[in-house]
């Protein structure tokens, strides 16, 4: 079983907080689609005839791509990969592109899950974040997805925004949870180094930034607590630190990343993992297209050491509700890593975790300290 991710590297404009690779000149889209078809062909051997169980079109803004071009990509995937009969096929869309015609066409293409970047149901916050859509468009977008008979809907919200009070965040949550959605991803606003917000705040006024950062952390904690209170009486369950789903609607694609399943990432800046090595494509449409036009890919490869593998397992699984599979760690990494892990667990505060069926699972108190606990369990931390 494996997963395929495709990065569509275009956006109409850059949101202030965004660190994903994308460009705003859409004129190269046709050339990119041709290069992507070539990459699919060239790299089809990398999944070693594994059956593809999930396909994810992310970005950037995949919904800026005409459906007929997406269809070319789906055809190429079908031609070069073994695709399971029942797959999870997700497309990320922005609310302003969630029109009935577009969604019906996606449904016809086999898309059965939509992830919509809502971020907030408050126009003032959307404006602050540099988003192009309104709250009304987000609500209409969700309705259009349902009307197109795509019944696996995920939305993203951003929390920890310094200019938003607790009541306004509560309002966002109430609106979100009153919609027919099955999945919610909530991400804290962070100042990523390549974002416009970072350049505006950090580079221009580092002292003010530090004060703001401390406040942000408190606000993020307040917002996450409000979120947990709000979902407590709903069918939603937290299954990863930032992800909540009605049981049965957990993202299979993201779960594959966390489980260590091999995945192939295609398109500029996309990352891949084949079980032993990690690779990533160049973050430039121009270089990406040029390389593929001359019959080559343009990516870097890193062989992972056993310690890298162990650390990655810890980093990814500690964030999930399933937790760290202790038996698997022993089987996969052997005595040295397993003993290290158990010794470090013994030093943790018992209120932070529980062990259930050979899995270490963080409690709510532990989840709030995930970063601190993770550092303690990593192998390098004893070197």
The site string for ligand SF4 over 13-32 (x = CB under 6 A, - otherwise) reads -xx--x-x-x----------
State the nearest-atom distance from the C-beta of 141 to ligand SF4, in Å.
14
Q: How far apart are CA 370 and CA 186, in angstroms?
A: 16
Ramachandran region, residue 149 (left: φ > 0; alpha: ψ -120 to 50; beta: rest): left
Contact status: 272 vs ligand SF4 (CB under 6 A): no
Is 11 near ligand SF4 (CB under 6 A)?
A: yes
Q: By three-state DSSP, how is residue 342 classified?
A: helix
DSSP letter (8 states) at residue 305: P
289 Cβ contact partners less than 8 Å away, ≥ 6 residues apart? 28, 31, 32, 34, 35
Q: Which of 2, 37, 54, 61 binds ligand SF4 (CB under 6 A)?
A: 61
Q: Which stretch binds ligand SF4 (CB under 6 A): 12-20, 284-292, 342-350, 361-369?
A: 12-20
Residue range at the interface with ligand SF4 (CB under 6 A); choices 9-17, 65-73, 145-153, 345-353 = 9-17
| C-alpha–C-alpha distance, residues 51 and 85, integer Å | 10
268 binds ligand SF4 (CB under 6 A): no
Residue 119 CB, shortest distance to ligand SF4, in Å, is 8
CB under 8 Å to 66, separation ≥6 — which residues? none
CB of 117 to ligand SF4, least distance (A): 6
Cα–chain-centroid distance for residue 215? Answer: 25
- Give least dist CB 113 to ligand SF4, A: 18
DSSP string computed for 193-256: TTSHHHIIIIIT-HHHHHHHHHHHHHHHHHHHHHHHHHHTTSS-EEEETTEEE-TT-S-HHHHH
Please list every residue from 82 through 121 that binds ligand SF4, using CB under 6 A. Answer: 94, 117
Smallest gap from residue 94 Cβ to ligand SF4 (A): 6
Decide whether 254 or 261 has the Cβ nearer to ligand SF4: 254
Q: Which helix (H) or strand (E) holds 183?
A: strand 183-188
141 binds ligand SF4 (CB under 6 A): no
Phi/psi of residue 18, nearest 5 degrees: -80, 135
119 near 126, Cβ under 8 Å?
Answer: yes
CA–CA gap between residue 342 and residue 345 (Å, rounded):
5
* 352 close to 359: Cβ distance less than 8 angstroms: no
In angstroms, give the least distance from the CB of 313 to ligand SF4.
28
Q: How far is the CB of 353 from ligand SF4 (least distance, A)?
A: 34
Torsion of CA 229, 234, 235, 236, to 10 degrees: -40
CB 361, min distance to ligand SF4, A: 31
59 near ligand SF4, judged by CB under 6 A: yes
Among 50, 52, 60, 133, binds ligand SF4 (CB under 6 A): 60
Q: Which is nearer to ligand SF4, 61 or 272 (CB)?
A: 61
Q: Which residues bind ligand SF4 (CB under 6 A)?
A: 11, 14-15, 18, 20, 22, 59-61, 94, 117
């Amino acid at each position: 079983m494996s997963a395929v991710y495709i990065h569509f590297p275009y956006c109409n404009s850059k949101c202030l907080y965004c660190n994903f690779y994308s460009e705003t000149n859409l004129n190269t889209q046709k050339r990119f689609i041709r290069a992507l078809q070539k990459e699919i062909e060239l790299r089809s051997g990398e999944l070693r005839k594994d059956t593809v169980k999930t396909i994810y079109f992310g970005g950037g803004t995949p919904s800026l791509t005409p459906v007929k071009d997406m269809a070319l990509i789906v055809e190429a995937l079908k031609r070069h990969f073994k695709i399971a009969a029942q797959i999870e096929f997700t497309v990320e869309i922005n609310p302003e592109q969630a029109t009935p015609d577009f969604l019906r066409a996606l449904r016809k293409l086999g898309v059965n899950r939509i992830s919509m970047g809502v971020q907030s149901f408050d126009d003032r916050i959307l404006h602050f974040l540099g988003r192009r859509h309104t709250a009304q468009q987000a609500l209409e977008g969700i309705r259009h997805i349902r009307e197109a008979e795509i019944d696996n809907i995920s939305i993203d919200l951003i929390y920890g925004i310094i200019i938003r009070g607790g009541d306004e965040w509560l309002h966002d949550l109430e609106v979100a949870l009153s919609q027919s959605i099955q999945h919610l991803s909530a991400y804290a606003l962070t100042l990523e180094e390549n974002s416009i917000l970072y350049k505006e705040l950090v580079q221009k006024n580092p002292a003010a930034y530090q004060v703001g950062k401390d406040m942000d952390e408190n606000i993020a904690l307040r917002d996450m607590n409000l979120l947990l209170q709000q979902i407590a009486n709903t069918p939603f369950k937290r299954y990863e630190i930032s992800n909540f789903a009605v049981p049965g609607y957990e993202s299979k694609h993201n779960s594959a990343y966390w489980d260590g399943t091999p995945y192939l990432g295609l398109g500029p800046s996309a990352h891949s993992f084949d079980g032993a090595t990690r690779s990533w494509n160049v973050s430039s449409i121009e270089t990406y297209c040029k390389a593929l036009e001359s019959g080559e890919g343009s990516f870097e490869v890193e062989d992972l050491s056993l310690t890298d593998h162990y650390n990655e397992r810890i980093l990814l699984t500690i964030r999930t509700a399933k937790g760290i599979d202790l038996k698997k760690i022993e089987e996969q990494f052997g005595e040295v890593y397993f003993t290290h892990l158990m010794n470090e667990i013994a030093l943790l505060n018992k209120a932070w975790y529980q062990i259930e069926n050979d899995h270490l699972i963080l409690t709510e108190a532990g989840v709030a300290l995930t970063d601190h606990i993770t550092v303690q369990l990593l192998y390098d931390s004893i070197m």
